[in-house]
């Protein structure tokens, strides 16, 4: 058949006959690369059109697409894939007549070729997509060739990619890119050869699937995250080759799914489009803000999609109950729902694996890589890493696979509706925030070390760098399956995102990129009318033209304006929506990096000069403008803070500021800051020495002033348990009063005046009630007898626990002994004499597990202090996880074992330890944890609780001090109501949930803005006067969530009429320990880091006014009462330092300086660590209920927009006040209306 009909076979036969008959050894068969005639028609070519015999020497004029077949040749010849005969030679059974394959001169139809100057010829991909179609009027044997058809599909697609890569490689020498300024300079120098200018263009981000393409798409997804928050659902949708649509098509043709990868890919695309439509338009999970998906292909070739879903705020799934509503990980009942049971059996069962099948493909080193089988779970919860642990009850339902019974532990999480509708593997997971994005774009992360080493090589001295061949990098380890080839041939996208992301370019003045060819004269390039027009300069022009444009940053611009590429201008957007993303540049890029930082914050700039102009000051460089805006974090800002603070604060406050910076380790080079700023901290030294020595004419040298100032810093550090020796290379001082580090902690605890302590104890002891006296005597007997023991003093607010702590402390200190007072929170520790937080005193790790110990070494100063102490008092114990108490127990047993025989067998090494607290208050916070998780984390679930003796305080001390019987009765009724809430006796309870009716006199009713109503009720003077700060000291509005708190704070800040207002921006960077390369920094851009909001960390933008109440978000100076939760009133707003007056605690009324500090969130939901340098403050007209624990207020407003934990949060909120008249509650329903 081929002999008679295939023109290529005939050509080879002619060559053979020529060789045989003429005995010509030097014959070449030339397969002609160029054709004549209409390539779109199917007329069969003649032999003379396809091939020609060449006898004699090699002809240099032969075309580049021609193929030469020689009788003798010493070298291999690569056959060009674009030769029309390529497919006929490679696949004679698919092209039995030797007909042409792809021809470069095939014209597009007139219908498609409508754009003037557009492409006029058919591409290789379009040709292949046309040829693999099965048409009703044309019998095609190609699509029935099974494995040969698969090979053709793969070969065809690799030809497409090869052509694209060849174009990029061949044009490296032709296309050049340079900055306009560089071309102008070259032209002015008289140079006119464009080949001497610019850099090579390598594999661009427009090349689908390349490394730059994947990174750009990853950054697009992060831009959506910045706009919409973290994704809510992660869906994996896998193709089912047994779909009815595929079976109906293949069965009559006697083919299998793998024989028609084109059909499989097209059906999957239809199904995928339907799924996206269900998610977006039909709102299966509610209103959708954004969707991103990427397509991957399994090793067996089937396509699957990884989909990220962003839900609207009202449809998110914040709790385990919400998760259970849409996601199931259990086997359904076969009797009540047999079809659902069959779907789970066929598509959603993993394994068998583990001990049941150790040879399963998922098993590596004896463990399942997917972590099956999962654990039994009676309820859904979230683990410590933020991953969901779905409900998997241990029932009797089983599914048999490979003769092995599988239970709920092997069920893959899914949504019933989607599984039943699409009949395929459909894994639906509740998102672990941005970790899911890292997996979605795993091409970036898998093997990234090799890729990163290629992209981010650094120049080492004069070593000659080898050019990075990104095209070759793309070829490396490339694997293409038949389905992927078909998918790409049909032009289906492998990345999808909505809303769309507009990528925004930028450049320094006259440094916009210009693309030009080798043969283009420089004068024509420079004088081109559009050479100066870029997307960035057009943005500046639009800011001049449109007043509304000046309200937007560059990144916000695409939301309201659209880029017209043809006219190179921005125009107001009439429809749709887009998110802007400014292209990333490396921090080492100099001014380009700093201009990018400014673009994310400066609005409406009309020129480069205006971009570096802030508050009327035009800075010389973009870096200086960034520094003025607070976007950089180096020690220079601390030097400026001391300079600024010296104009309005005292030298004592400046020394405390320096100690704070040392203690928080905020300075990179503290010795450098000291050398620059010591004079500010020594301004009062000479006056003080004159007064002490009574020498009014005393003159001290600079060396003396510096030494005395350093001594004062050392004394301040010692009072905080530190020394200058702890901060090398800081200079140190040698004074007789300065103790070694071994004695410092003990000296600190022994410095109490025994006479004063004896007098205080006598006074306190006389006022003890019978209950308190019993508690006191029980504990003192244990201390005096040195028998040890663990006690828990249980009593609600106002029962006198703190009074007992003070009495016990003074009793022990009056004898010259040591008592260690700690509390679970900074605020609670301020109420204790010499109190510290438990974490700081005992070096308890932040991240704990059931085997953790404290960071205390044998023989260390802290270990010696623990050995010397007689009693440990730990207040507010129920707030902390039981692991904290167990870690200290293990450490103390180890420490005491070397000082007291057999002490290791007693709790806390035989020491007397007293815990105190109220289980009615907020218990340990377990992120996304269930009620059972919280209960399991409390101290009474610890093994220590069985050793604990519970002592109770039941009488309300506030009632004892009442003289008016009527007031006493009212307070008793109010106290009993609060106690009934904490005890779970108020309202009707059902399975741990209760509905409590609030008394009418405590409620606020309004038909208007609920925030305005509660503000007017709690702060009437502030509303009337527009900023009277006298009413802010002991009042606050409380709410369960941070979102409501921020809304109230914004409202109250707007009421403040102070003209002094500043917005401070943070400097955010990815931790350098996260990666040894710059890839993490490129993937998580500064503006994405700026968008992160976490509990306990100040926001990127912090707007403050003089007179604003603020709350500290970290412990910075316990001796000054500056703890996490301390409230202050701002009295001065500087450029680099803030001044505030402390409102509460032992230092109430004192003024302090607050610097910017570096904070590293410990939130495990983030897949990386980052640092935020910002003032550690949040506005606190309102605060969360949890933050209010330990605060005592005269007037409280409780704003409830959603239910609270009645046993904890509501109890804490209503118990902040001491009388009924000080409490007001406003309850808002789903429609923002008030209710009772």
Instruction: Please provide the DSSP assignment of 366-395 as one string.
Output: TEETT-PSPPPBSS-EE-TTS-EE--B---
Residues in the chain: 1236
Distance CA 488, CA 380 (A): 40
Distances (CA, A) of 549 to 84, 235, 572: 54, 38, 9
DSSP state of 633: -
Supply 235's token pair. 């869906």
pLDDT at position 1080: 56
* 848 neighbors 857 (Cβ within 8 angstroms): no
Task: Give a three-class secondary structure readout of 217-266.
Answer: HHHHHHHHHHHHCCCCEEEEEECCCCCHHHHHHHHHHCCCHHHCHHHHHH
Distance CA 35, CA 82 (A): 12
pLDDT at position 978: 84
Lookup result for tokens 């932040």 = 846
Whether the bond into 499 is cis, omega within 30 of 0: yes
Q: Which residues of the chain have pLDDT under 50?
A: 39-43, 46, 48-49, 53-65, 113-114, 175-176, 179-201, 442-467, 477, 737-739, 741, 990, 1074-1077, 1206, 1231-1236
* 1091 neighbors 1097 (Cβ within 8 angstroms): no
Phi, psi torsion values for 1215, nearest 5 degrees = -95, 10
Distance CA 598, CA 416 (A): 48
Q: What is the pTM of this model?
A: 0.69
- SS3 call for 763: helix
The secondary element (H helix, E strand) that includes residue 502 is: strand 501-504
List all residues 6 or more positions away from 1140 whose beta carbon is below 8 Å from its beta carbon.
1110, 1128, 1129, 1130, 1131, 1151, 1152, 1154
The burial of 1097, by beta-carbon neighbours within 10 Å (0-12 exposed, 13-18 middle, 19 or more buried), is given as buried
User: Residue 953, Cβ neighbours under 10 Å: how many?
Assistant: 23
User: Residue 589, Cβ neighbours under 10 Å: how many?
Assistant: 12
Distance CA 597, CA 1086 (A): 7
Any long-range contacts for 1078-1082 (C-beta under 8 Å, 24+ apart)? Answer: 1078/452, 1078/456, 1078/586, 1079/444, 1079/448, 1079/452, 1079/456, 1080/1168, 1081/586, 1081/587, 1082/215, 1082/219, 1082/584, 1082/586
Distance CA 305, CA 292 (A): 10
pLDDT at position 111: 52
The burial of 990, by beta-carbon neighbours within 10 Å (0-12 exposed, 13-18 middle, 19 or more buried), is given as exposed
pLDDT at position 1108: 92
Exposed e or buried b per residue across 705-736, where buried means at least 16 C-beta atoms within 10 angstroms of its C-beta: bbbbbbbbbbbbbbebbbbbeebeebeebeee
pLDDT at position 645: 94
Return the domain boundaries, the chain: 2-111, 139-170+202-311+423-458+467-499, 328-413, 501-629, 636-738, 786-951, 994-1235
pLDDT at position 642: 96
Supply 967's token pair. 């007031």
* 644 neighbors 1137 (Cβ within 8 angstroms): yes
Half-sphere exposure at residue 235, Cβ-oriented, CA atoms within 13 angstroms: 27
List all residues 6 or more positions away from 128 whose beta carbon is below 8 Å from its beta carbon.
102, 156, 157, 159, 160, 489
* 1190 neighbors 1216 (Cβ within 8 angstroms): no
Distance CA 272, CA 288 (A): 16
| Closest CA relative to residue 1116, chosen from 1144, 1171, 1154 | 1154
User: Options 3.40.50.150, 3.40.50.280, 3.40.50.300, 3.40.50.2020; which CATH number does 786-951 get?
Assistant: 3.40.50.300
Distances (CA, A) of 528 to 515, 531, 547: 12, 5, 30
Phi, psi torsion values for 226, nearest 5 degrees = -60, -35
Distance CA 724, CA 1046 (A): 40
Phi, psi torsion values for 747, nearest 5 degrees = -60, -40
Distance CA 437, CA 217 (A): 11
Half-sphere exposure at residue 171, Cβ-oriented, CA atoms within 13 angstroms: 16
C-alpha 1216 chain-centroid distance: 34
User: Residue 943, Cβ neighbours under 10 Å: how many?
Assistant: 12
């Amino acid at each position: 058949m081929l002999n008679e009909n295939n023109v290529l076979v005939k050509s080879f036969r002619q060559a053979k006959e020529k060789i045989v008959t003429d005995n010509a050894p030097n014959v070449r068969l030339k397969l002609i690369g160029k054709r004549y005639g209409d390539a779109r028609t199917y007329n069969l070519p003649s032999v003379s059109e396809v091939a020609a015999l060449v006898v004699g020497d090699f002809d240099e004029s032969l075309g580049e697409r021609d193929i030469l077949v020689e009788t003798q040749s010493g070298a291999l010849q690569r056959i060009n894939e674009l030769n029309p005969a390529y497919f006929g030679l490679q696949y004679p059974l698919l092209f039995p007549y030797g007909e042409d394959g792809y021809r470069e001169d095939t014209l597009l139809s007139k219908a498609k070729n409508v754009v003037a100057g557009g492409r006029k010829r058919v591409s290789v991909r379009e040709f292949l997509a046309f040829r693999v179609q099965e048409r009703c009027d044309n019998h095609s044997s190609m699509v029935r060739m099974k494995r040969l058809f698969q090979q053709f599909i793969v070969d065809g697609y690799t030809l497409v990619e090869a052509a694209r890569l060849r174009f990029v490689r061949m044009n490296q020498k032709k296309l050049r890119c340079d900055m306009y300024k560089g071309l102008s300079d070259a032209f002015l120098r008289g140079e006119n050869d464009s080949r001497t200018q610019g850099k090579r263009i390598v594999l661009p981000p427009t090349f689908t699937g390349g490394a730059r393409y994947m990174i750009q798409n990853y950054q697009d997804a992060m831009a959506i995250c910045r706009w919409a928050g973290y994704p809510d659902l992660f869906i994996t949708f896998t193709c089912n080759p047994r779909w009815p649509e595929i079976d109906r098509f293949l069965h009559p043709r006697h083919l299998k799914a793998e024989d028609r990868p084109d059909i499989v890919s097209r059906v999957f695309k239809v199904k995928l489009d339907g799924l996206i439509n269900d998610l977006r338009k039909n709102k299966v999970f509610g209103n959708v803000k954004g969707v991103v998906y990427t397509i991957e292909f399994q090793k067996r070739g089937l396509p699957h999609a990884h989909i990220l879903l962003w839900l609207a705020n009202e449809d998110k799934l914040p709790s385990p109950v919400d998760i259970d509503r849409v996601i199931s990980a259990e086997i359904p009942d076969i009797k009540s729902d047999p079809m659902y049971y069959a779907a789970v059996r066929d598509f959603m069962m993993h394994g068998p694996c583990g001990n049941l099948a150790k040879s399963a493909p998922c098993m590596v080193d004896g463990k399942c890589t997917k972590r099956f089988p999962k654990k039994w779970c009676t309820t859904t919860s979230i683990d410590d890493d933020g991953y969901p642990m779905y409900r998997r009850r241990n029932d009797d339902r089983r599914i048999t696979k490979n003769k092995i019974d599988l239970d709920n532990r092997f069920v893959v999480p899914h949504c019933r509706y989607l599984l039943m509708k699409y009949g395929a593997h459909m894994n639906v997971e509740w998102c672990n925030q941005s970790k899911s994005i890292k997996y979605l774009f795993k091409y970036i992360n898998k093997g990234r070390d090799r890729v990163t080493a290629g992209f981010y090589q650094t120049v080492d001295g004069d070593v000659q760098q080898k050019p990075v061949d990104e095209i070759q990098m793309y070829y490396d380890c490339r694997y293409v399956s038949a389905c992927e080839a078909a998918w790409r041939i049909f032009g289906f996208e492998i990345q999808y995102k909505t809303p769309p992301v507009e990528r925004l370019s930028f450049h320094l003045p006259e440094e916009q990129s210009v693309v030009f060819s080798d043969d283009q004269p420089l004068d024509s390039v420079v004088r081109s009318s559009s050479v100066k027009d870029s997307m960035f300069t057009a943005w500046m022009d639009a800011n001049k033209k449109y007043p509304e444009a000046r309200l937007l940053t560059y990144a916000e611009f695409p939301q309201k304006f659209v880029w017209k590429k043809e006219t190179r201008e921005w125009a107001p957007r009439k429809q749709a929506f887009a998110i802007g993303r400014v292209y990333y540049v490396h921090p080492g890029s100099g001014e380009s990096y700093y201009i990018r930082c400014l673009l994310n914050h400066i609005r409406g700039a009309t020129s480069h000069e205006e971009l570096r102009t802030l508050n009327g000051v035009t800075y010389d460089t973009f870096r200086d403008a960034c520094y003025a805006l607070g976007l950089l974090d180096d020690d220079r800002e601390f030097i400026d803070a001391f300079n600024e603070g010296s104009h309005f604060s005292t030298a004592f406050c400046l020394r405390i500021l320096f100690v704070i910076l040392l203690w928080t380790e905020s300075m990179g080079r503290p010795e450098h800051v000291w050398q620059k700023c010591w004079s500010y901290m020594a301004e009062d030294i000479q006056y003080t020495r004159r007064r002490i020595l009574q020498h009014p004419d005393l003159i001290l040298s600079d060396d003396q002033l510096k030494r005395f100032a350093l001594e004062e810093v050392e004394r301040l550090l010692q009072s905080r348990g530190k020394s200058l020796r702890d901060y090398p290379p800081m200079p140190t001082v040698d004074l007789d009063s300065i103790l070694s580090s071994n004695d410092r902690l003990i000296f600190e605890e022994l410095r109490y005046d025994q006479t004063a302590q004896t007098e205080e104890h006598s006074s306190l002891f006389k006022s003890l009630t019978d209950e308190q006296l019993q508690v006191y005597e029980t504990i003192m007997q244990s201390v005096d007898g040195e028998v040890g023991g663990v006690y828990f003093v249980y009593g609600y607010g106002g029962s006198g626990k703190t009074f007992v702590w003070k009495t016990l402390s003074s009793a022990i200190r009056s004898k010259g002994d040591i008592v260690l007072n700690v509390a679970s929170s900074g605020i609670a520790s301020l109420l204790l004499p010499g109190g510290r937080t438990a974490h700081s005193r005992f070096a308890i790790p932040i991240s704990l597990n059931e085997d953790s110990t404290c960071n205390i070494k044998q023989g260390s100063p802290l270990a010696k202090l623990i050995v010397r102490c007689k009693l440990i008092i730990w207040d507010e114990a129920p707030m902390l996880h039981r692991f904290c108490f167990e870690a200290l127990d293990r450490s103390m047993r180890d420490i005491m074992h070397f000082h007291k025989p057999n002490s290791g067998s007693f709790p806390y090494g035989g020491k007397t330890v007293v815990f105190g607290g109220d289980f009615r208050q907020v218990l340990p916070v377990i992120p996304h944890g269930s009620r059972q998780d919280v209960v399991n984390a409390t101290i009474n679930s610890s093994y220590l609780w069985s050793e604990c003796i519970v002592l109770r305080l039941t009488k309300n001390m506030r009632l004892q001090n009442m003289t008016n019987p009527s007031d006493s009765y009212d307070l008793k009724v109010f106290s009993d109501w609060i106690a009934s809430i904490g005890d779970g006796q108020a309202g009707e309870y059902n399975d741990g949930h209760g509905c409590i009716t609030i008394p009418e006199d405590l409620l606020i009713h309004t038909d208007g803005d609920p925030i305005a109503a509660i503000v007017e009720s709690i702060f009437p003077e502030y509303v009337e006067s527009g900023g009277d700060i006298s009413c802010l000291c002991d009042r606050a509005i409380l709410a369960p969530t941070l979102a409501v708190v921020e809304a109230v704070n914004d409202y109250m800040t707007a009421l403040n009429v102070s003209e002094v207002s500043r917005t401070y921006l943070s400097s955010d960077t990815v931790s350098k320990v996260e990666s040894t390369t710059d890839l993490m920094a490129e993937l998580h851009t500064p503006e994405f880091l700026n968008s992160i909001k976490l509990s306990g960390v100040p926001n990127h933008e912090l707007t403050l006014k003089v007179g604003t109440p603020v709350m500290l978000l970290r412990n910075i100076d316990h001796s000054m009462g500056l703890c996490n939760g301390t409230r202050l009133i701002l009295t001065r707003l500087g450029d680099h330092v803030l001044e505030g007056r402390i409102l509460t605690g032992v230092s109430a009324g004192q003024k302090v300086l607050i610097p910017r500090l570096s904070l590293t969130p410990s939130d495990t939901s983030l897949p990386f660590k980052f640092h935020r340098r910002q003032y550690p403050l949040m506005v606190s007209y309102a605060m969360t209920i949890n933050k209010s624990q330990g605060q005592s207020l005269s007037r409280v407003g409780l704003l409830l927009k959603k239910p609270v934990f009645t046993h904890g949060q509501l109890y804490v909120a209503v118990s902040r006040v001491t009388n009924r008249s000080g409490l007001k509650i406003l309850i808002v329903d789903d429609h923002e209306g008030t209710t009772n």
